[in-house]
Structure 1
Amino acid sequence: MSSLPFPVRVAAGLVVTAVEEVQALPRTIVGLPITAASRVLQLSMRAQQVVTELAIKGDTALEGARPVEEAPSWARFDEDTDDRVPVLRAGGNPSGPAGRRLPAESNNGHARPLDRPVLTAEDVPDETPDALPGYESLTIAQLRARLRGLTVDQLTELLAWESSHADRPAFVTMLTNRIATLTAEQ
């Protein structure tokens, strides 16, 4: 078709492309700031990813050089000590070890009931409580949904079972509060 040399044809193609771009410039100039901003953000996010990957690799490399404490010395958990859980002693005074009076709140600021009864082996059934079959597998939400239909005696049986078996703080608190509410209503 054309007998012009290849470099001339390439140069003509560049000129036509430049003219087309200049003609499209009014349409593309509107989006230019957005395009530039998105490219800058994309580059900065990629740089953050690279830095984070390097930090992770550094942590992995240094992991063996420093022993990690299994339980930090500053961490305190409810399971670690029982002296913060008030127990109702003879005479009705909540106290801890050696008769020391305990505060109404634990170290994390959540109130704890001071009148939690001391339970004996006779008070606690070995199997699932009769008051609510399948109780041991209920979630806290499922228990909350079933509380209104239970009497004080049934709630006391559930509290005794919970205290001697799983002793989950949320369950104990919910049962204790419901017993207190029903007792106050009577």
Structure 2
Amino acid sequence: MNAPAPLRLAAGLAVTAAEEAFRLPYRLRRAPARVAAAPGAVADAGASAAGRAGTRVLARALRVQQNLSALAAKGDEALADLVADDSAAGAEAVFDDDPGAGVRATTAEQTALAVGYPELDADGLEDLLPELDRARIAALLDYELAHGDRPAFTTLLGNALAQAGS
């Protein structure tokens, strides 16, 4: 969709705000454990403090750029859902031995990006799982197996998939 950047960012921000509002009860439930496990907030005093400060500024600038890109991508997806185009329904056809393989891979990628899966840690995934349906959990499991196969993530996704199936 060729929407203006401010509209894409606004739509992405609205979707993100709705997602975060949904996750708030789960995050509040684990807040005491996170506070207790947080390391001391004592700043290091050293000769290379200026170098570290410059690195932190650069890292924050890059993170802001990544966040803006993620918001724009979410906005694109939200706007595309609003303006669905039926002419592109067969655009993801795959002609090989397993006709569904390419579509499943594409769906797994799209699902992972739509929910911000690549940026999640295990706690974030645990927060996200209650709001996902069986198909999305299965797509994220496919994505994880293809892109990292991290035991904690595959276990969480596998258990959630088993619970969703019952």
Structure 2 length as normaliser, TM-score?
0.35
| Structure (1/2) with the larger helix percentage | 2
Structure 1 or 2, whichever has the larger Rg, is: 1
Higher RCO, Cα 8 Å, sep 6+? 2
